[in-house]
Structure formats: C-alpha cells, structure tokens
Amino acid sequence: MSITLALLAAAAQAAPADNPPVAPPAPQTNSQAAPDEQEDPGRLGPAQQSGGDILVTARRRAETIQSVPIAMSVIGGKAVSDTGAYNVGRLTQLQPSLQFYSTNPRNSAANIRGLGAPFGLTNDGIEQGVGIYVDQVYYSRIASATFDFTDTDRIEILRGPQGTLYGKNTTAGAINITTRKPSFDTEARFEVSGGNYDFFQAKGSISGPLVGDVVAGRFSASFTTRRGTIWNTTQEQWQNSQDNLSLRGQMLFRAASNLDITLYADYNRQAPTCCVQYYARLAPTQRPANRQYTALAAAAGYAVPSTNAFDRITDVDTPLRARQKLGGASMVANWDLGPATLTSVTAWRFWNWDPSNDRDFIGLPITTVSANPSQQDQYSQEIRLGSNGKHAIDYTVGMFYFYQTIDTQGLQVQGPAASAWLLNPTSAAAKNPATLNGLTSRNTIGFKNTSAALFGKLTWHVTDKLQISPGARLNYDKKEGSYISVVTNGQGSTNLTSDQRGVLAPQSYAPKFDNWNFSGDITLAYEFSPDVHSYATYARSYKSGGINLSGLPLDANNNPILSTATVKPETVNHYELGLKTQLLDRRATINLAAFWTDIYDYQATVNNFQLAVLRGYLANAGKVRTRGIEFDSAFRPTSGLNLYVNGAYTDAKYVRFANAPCPPELSGGSNSPPFCDISGQRLPGVSKWAFSYGAEYNWPAGDGQVYVGYDGSYRSDFSSNPSPSAYMNIAGYSLSNFRLGYRKGDKLNIFAWVRNAFDQNYYELLTTQSGSTGLIVGQPGDPRTFGVTLSFGIN
C-alpha cells in the first residue's frame, strides 16, 4: 500500500466511517504515538508523522490504512489547503502514480499508473477507468469532477481494479472524495487566499444543529478567480483564467438510534476565459512543402506573435469560453441492523457544457467556430450490505444501477482563410476564399448509457495473521448512440464539391453496444508483525465496450468507416504485491507496491489527421502492459521535523498495436502508410519516473507554531501523442513549492506561499494542428505564483 504526504495527516484522528451512525469498533492499535505527536489531522506538517493510526473506508468499513491490502493514498483536507491542491488536476504533484491531463474541462482525463481514459480528445461513448466518487456518488465524467474541492475532509486514491468494492466498475483505480459531515456542535471554518495574477479564493463552511440532536446541517461555499496567464494580442485580454463558484449543502437526520439519512445538494459554476493552445514548435510531415505550416503562413503573410510559447503570447482569433454548470442531489441512508449495516445511495447529477474553441490555434480565420455544447443527466442507485465489527468472515455485497443521457449540439464553421490553408495551394479552389468560407457542420449527437451490477467481497480471517479476500462482480452494460452531421456550404446548400467534402463530410450513424461480463479478484494478506503487513492480489477485471461519438474516420471517398463505430471491451489481468511497514516506534513508514497489468483490446483514442478537424476516434490496441514499482516513505526524526519521499517507476507500453495511426512525421503524404505498427512503444502521458518529496519544520511560538515547508515533484519525459512521435515528447521537469507561516491549532493558520518557485517552463500537453501542416501547439503549465492564505475556525 502506498501513502502520500497527506495520508499521514490523519495519523492522530480516525476518519468517520462510511456507514454511521454505529461505526465498526476502532481497530486495535499495537502502539500509540506519544501525546505530543497527536497533532491535528489533515494538516501537511503532521502528514509526515509516522505515529498513530489512520482510519479509511476504502473497503466500505473503518480500518487502519496500514492494514488495508490495497495500494492507496490519502490526502487530508488541510493538506489540500496547504499545498494548493484544490482540484483533481493539482493532486498529481502529491501522488506520483496519478496523471491528469486537460485541454479544457470536457477534454480531461484522470489516469492511474498510465491507465484510465484514452489520452487525447474525450469521447463520450466509453467509460472512465478511474472512478470519481464524492460522498459515495459516482461521477460519470471527469469533466464533472473538475470542480474546486469544497469543505473536503479527505481524498482517498485507490490504485488498481476496484470493481468488487465500488458500484461502477473501475479497472485502473478510484478517487474517493469525502466532504466534512454535519455536526451537532456549532462550528464554522473560513479561508481566504490572495496572490499574483489577481488570484483570490475564499472558502467557508458553517455547521450545527437544526432540530436538537435529531437534525444537523452544513453549508459550504468556495469562490476562486484569477486572471489568465496568456496574453491574446488579437482579443486584447488575458486567457486561461479561473472563475469558479461552488456551493454545497447537507442535512443529517437521525431518524432512529440505528438509522440516519443524509441529504446532499451541490451547485458549481465555472466561467473562465479558457482554454488556449498555441504555437510550440514545428515538425516535418509527409505533406508537400507548399502545404506545410512555413509555406502556408508565408503565403498568407502571417506570423505568430512569438515562436517561444513561454513568452505566453498568442493571437488566436476565436473567442474562448469554457463555461459549465454542474451539480445534483443525493440521499445516503444507513440502517444498522446489528450484525450488518444496510446502505442506500440514491443520486441525480447534471452537467451542462458551453464551450468555444479556436481549433486552428493561430490568428487566421481558418476555423472560426468550434463548439460542442453538451447536456448530461445521470441517475444512480446503489444498495450495499456490509458486516459490522470483525468476525471470522467479513463481507460487503451490493447492487448498482446507473442511467445516463447526453445530448450534444456540435458546430464547426470554416472562415475566409480556410481555402488557402486547407486546399492544394496550386488549385483554383484554394485561390477562391468562397470555396470553404462559411462551410458549416452541424452535429446532433445523442447517447444513452445503462449499467447494472451485482458485486461483493468477503474477507476470511483464516488466522489472526492471515486473511483471504475473494471478490466477484456481474456487470451489464448497454450503450446506444446517434451521430448526425449535416454539412452545408456558404450558400446553405448540402450539395457539396469534392473539395468541401474533403474538409467537412456529412455523416450519419447509430452505433449500439451491449454485453454481460463476470469478473473478480482475490487477495491474500499476511501480518508478519503488528507493524509489518503484506498482501498479494490477482484481479480479472473488465472495462465496458464503447461507441464512437466524435465522428468516424473517412475512407478514400470521404465516407465514414462504419466498422469503427464500436470498440470492444477491455479485459484486464492485474497482479500486485505490497509490503507496508512502520519502524522506529512508528516514526518511519516505508510502503512498497509492485504491479503488473495486462490489458487486452485496450481502448485507445487516435487521430485521423483530417484537414479541418483533428478528430479523435476510438480503436482497440491488441494488448497493452503496464508494470512498475511504487514506494511511499515518511519520517519524523523529531517532533518538529517531518519528511516524505514518494516515488513511482511505471513502464507502460503497447505490446501489440499493429494497425495504429501513424505519428505526424509519417502522415499527410500520398505515399504515407495507412497504419503504423507501434508495438513495443510507450503509452502516451506516462512518465517512467515520478516523485513527490518534501519536508516541514515547526517550532513553538507562544501557544502556537511557526513553520516552514517545502514540497517538490518531478516527472520524467512522456509522449503527448497516442502514437509516439519524436516531435511530441514533453521533457521532464520538476516543480518546487515553499510556504512559511504560523498556526494555532484549528483556530488560526496564516502562511505565505510560492508555487513553481523557480518559474520552471514546462508543457502540460502538446497536440497537432489538423491537416498535417507540421504545426505543434502546446499548453504551458502555470508560471511562478505566490500569495498569502489565512484560515481560521470558530467552535
């Protein structure tokens, strides 16, 4: 099992169980931290302390994290604040095995150990491999989980398949977010931060009794704003800004001594001027020289404001927008039956997406409109029965039902510069702006997704030291889609020329998929001593098949290739060994995990390099393998000094992918191969080496503490293209964050911080301009930021 820096933040205090009101008895500890080590949980400083026990609910019961035979990490709510990790994307600096990529909220992906969602543009027709859960509710799209964390108690990151424990099948892992619960003691928490780039963030929560000791409520809110870090010379505004509002309410009703019901409601609004990608570098392709970027730009008399992306200047001419509204309501009921607790989780969620992008990535009117507004609704019901206490056999069994609808209205419009840029420059059609000006594609996309499952896991305590835990899952998935693209020319006619069809071709298809699947796992756990635990796991897992809902690749006659409308399910064989140790009177924790995962019919997002739209569609790679070793270590040599080092070595490769699309440098020519064999090459987005490390030192000051802290992270280079390309590797980089402050228990914490302190230039992503022009555009990471945070509590 793996523990990040903030996992140990909870070392002095048990986290609440998922099944109140009568939680299982607290696990017996074999040694306790000294009284002066029992500091407040969730704070980054004690996050590295190695004393005490941390309770988690990864297996749907309260257990100490060191005894749970799952590779997992926990980040406490105060560590989220101290490190500035206030959304899923920022967790990657704390957890080396977690990867997160985003060109905008919709096109986001969270991966664990290189697996989860295909790297590239999001396709609604497939599942996530990494499940996102907030207060036990499954969030079906990573886009709906890009909210700012509000009133967070802890975040559990589970690595490896989790389908026998969680409602929705997850083949790569799960991110389980738990917010603070309503309290029957009146309390309030507030936090305000300010910094450069006009950064301002305010968070607050208040909780207390509403009706005696029967009903309690909690309300929390978060607001974040920051101007952009990229200056647009055409639109004369800062872009890639932040503008987020989050509201959350809870009401706990103790209906009886053994029954409680909690109602949740939340609303989130994001309206940033986002997200711009722009000139990063050039790469040769197989296109004739007069159809590549240098010649095309010269012919148009065009030059980008800067060829150095880290000047942070662009001139894209389409207004940018990444507006979304998301929220929902849920009810969690826990009924203690004595030997077991029955839990019901009922939820509805919505996500409304309203974007505007510049998909030619430069300041010429080539593609003047590119937007895919989308509306999603999901409904889910989970029922679980979990044993209470510790018996010869413990168990969790459950049923899960999920239904989702997505409606998308796509629009793409070509502008007056499109003809010269996208067509053969020597042709008459290219010399006539009217050929493509006003060429419009209107896409109507519908999707229905139904999933149901029976799942369960037993833990047989063979002896006091040996456990055997088998699990099983029976899953049903059904997906139905509709994709209709109507293309009209500048005069509004559907009678298109071959040049126009070569840029935007009409499509209409209705893919379907349904399948039953049975999967399972087994874990053997052995306790060598109270502070040395080990486990071995085998899992046979499954990721549902999918349907392509982003348009299909075209044949030589510009007709959709219907055979690509569906993709096969993934089949996963996963093997893992783990060792968890605490040493030196629990002042040192060193945990190791080794894993090997084979994925058959891996679902990859690939690019077809069409002229006008970089369309990402799905394809099955024959086999993918990821393997590696992870370690987490934390040390507390003195009561005032905490140290941690976490690391991951991940070797993720295509074992067999003979019919993959070719990388940019082999694409675009009349003699370019239709497919490339990329077997043996690495998966995109995965660094072979990744580390997080840091320290905090504190010393007494009156009735509080002064502290200084450092947090660093490093990741080695990785590929930013589904088919590896010599021109699309992102170099390795390291980031350093510092903070200096004063804290006084829960009452007061004030600190100054600087993030990316050495102003490291690095890319989060690279991608290609459509049409095989050789232009590669990038999305730079945040520059150095600094500011001050003040938080205080009232009890």
- The confidence score (pLDDT) of residue 121 equals 64
Which amino acid makes up residue 154?
R
Task: Please state, rounded to an integer, the average pLDDT across all residues of the chain.
Answer: 88
How far apart CA 424 and CA 431 sit, in angstroms, is 9
Does position 560 have pLDDT exceeding 80, yes or no? no
SS3 546: strand
Which amino acid makes up residue 773?
T
Q: What's the alpha-carbon Rg for the chain, to the nearest Å?
A: 26
Distances from the Cα of 295 to the Cα of 52, 299, 303, 425, 778, angstroms: 66, 6, 11, 10, 21
Model pLDDT for residues 680-706, shown as the tens digit of each residue: 999 999 999 999 999 999 999 999 999
Model pLDDT for residues 246-281, shown as the tens digit of each residue: 999 999 999 999 999 999 999 999 999 999 999 999
Model pLDDT for residues 497-542, shown as the tens digit of each residue: 999 998 998 999 999 999 999 999 999 999 999 999 999 999 999 9
* Residue 502, in any domain of the structure: yes
Find residue 633's DSSP bridge partners: 590, 645
Does position 314 have pLDDT exceeding 60, yes or no? yes
The proportion of the chain whose per-residue pLDDT surpasses 90, expressed as a percent, equals 69
What's the rounded mean pLDDT across residues 69-83? 83
How far apart CA 220 and CA 267 sit, in angstroms, is 11
What's the rounded mean pLDDT across residues 107-120? 83
Report residue 421's pLDDT band, with 50, 70 and 90 as the boundaries. Answer: very high
DSSP class per residue in 662-693: PPGGG-SSTT--S-B--TTPBPTT--SEEEEE
What's the rounded mean pLDDT across residues 35-52? 36
- The confidence score (pLDDT) of residue 16 equals 34
Instruction: Lowest mean pLDDT of 45-49, 185-189, 317-321, name the range.
Output: 45-49
Cβ within 8 Å of residue 575, ≥6 positions away = 537, 538, 595, 596, 597
DSSP class per residue in 587-644: TEEEEEEEEEEEEEEEEEEEE---SS---EEEEEEEEEEEEEEEEEEEEEEETTEEEE
How far apart CA 334 and CA 346 sit, in angstroms, is 12
Does position 55 have pLDDT exceeding 80, yes or no? no
Report residue 218's pLDDT band, with 50, 70 and 90 as the boundaries. Answer: very high
Which tokens is 705 given? 């503490």
Does position 386 have pLDDT exceeding 50, yes or no? yes
* Dihedral sign (CA 616, 163, 472, 3): positive
Selected residue with higher pLDDT from 167 and 512: 512
Residue 785: which domain range?
Answer: 7-794
Q: What CATH number is attached to the domain comprising 647?
A: 2.40.170.20
- The confidence score (pLDDT) of residue 693 equals 95
- The confidence score (pLDDT) of residue 630 equals 96
Report residue 24's pLDDT band, with 50, 70 and 90 as the boundaries. Answer: very low
Report residue 45's pLDDT band, with 50, 70 and 90 as the boundaries. Answer: very low
How far apart CA 21 and CA 6 sit, in angstroms, is 26
* Residue 38, in any domain of the structure: yes
Report residue 17's pLDDT band, with 50, 70 and 90 as the boundaries. Answer: very low
Query: 490-496 contacts: CB < 8 A, separation 24 or more?
Result: 490/434, 490/436, 490/437, 490/438, 490/439, 491/438
Structural contact between residues 641 and 45, judged by C-beta atoms closer than 8 angstroms: no
* Residue 1, in any domain of the structure: no
* Residue 754, in any domain of the structure: yes
How far apart CA 474 and CA 164 sit, in angstroms, is 9
On the 0-12 / 13-18 / 19+ scale of CB atoms within 10 A, 596 is middle
* Residue 354, in any domain of the structure: yes
What's the rounded mean pLDDT across residues 225-235? 96
Model pLDDT for residues 572-621, shown as the tens digit of each residue: 999 999 999 999 998 999 999 999 999 999 988 765 544 444 455 677 88
Structural contact between residues 503 and 611, judged by C-beta atoms closer than 8 angstroms: yes
Instruction: Lowest mean pLDDT of 23-32, 573-582, 598-607, 625-634, name the range.
Output: 23-32
User: Where in 17-167 does DSSP place strands (E)?
Assistant: 55-56, 63-64, 71-76, 98-102, 108-112, 130-134, 137-139, 152-159
pTM across the whole model: 0.89
Report residue 361's pLDDT band, with 50, 70 and 90 as the boundaries. Answer: very high
- The confidence score (pLDDT) of residue 535 equals 97
Dihedral angle, C-alpha 663, 666, 670, 673, nearest 10 °: -80
Structural contact between residues 614 and 132, judged by C-beta atoms closer than 8 angstroms: no
- The confidence score (pLDDT) of residue 556 equals 72
How far apart CA 105 and CA 492 sit, in angstroms, is 32
Number of domains composing the chain: 1
Does position 144 have pLDDT exceeding 90, yes or no? no
- The confidence score (pLDDT) of residue 64 equals 75
- The confidence score (pLDDT) of residue 781 equals 94
How far apart CA 473 and CA 521 sit, in angstroms, is 9
* Residue 382, in any domain of the structure: yes
Distances from the Cα of 15 to the Cα of 19, 42, 191, 678, 787, angstroms: 12, 10, 22, 46, 31
- The confidence score (pLDDT) of residue 171 equals 87
Selected residue with higher pLDDT from 49 and 732: 732
- The confidence score (pLDDT) of residue 10 equals 34
- The confidence score (pLDDT) of residue 736 equals 97
Which tokens is 644 given? 């941690």
Report residue 104's pLDDT band, with 50, 70 and 90 as the boundaries. Answer: confident
* Residue 612, in any domain of the structure: yes
Instruction: Lowest mean pLDDT of 153-162, 384-393, 614-623, name the range.
Output: 614-623
* Residue 530, in any domain of the structure: yes
User: Where in 227-304 does DSSP place strands (E)?
Assistant: 230-232, 237-239, 242-256, 259-270, 278-282
Chain Cα centroid distance, residue 619:
21
The pairing of strands 71-76 and 98-102 is unpaired
CA nearest 670: which of 506, 396, 424? 424
Report residue 13's pLDDT band, with 50, 70 and 90 as the boundaries. Answer: very low
How far apart CA 204 and CA 789 sit, in angstroms, is 13
- The confidence score (pLDDT) of residue 86 equals 72
Does position 143 have pLDDT exceeding 80, yes or no? no
Structural contact between residues 689 and 647, judged by C-beta atoms closer than 8 angstroms: yes
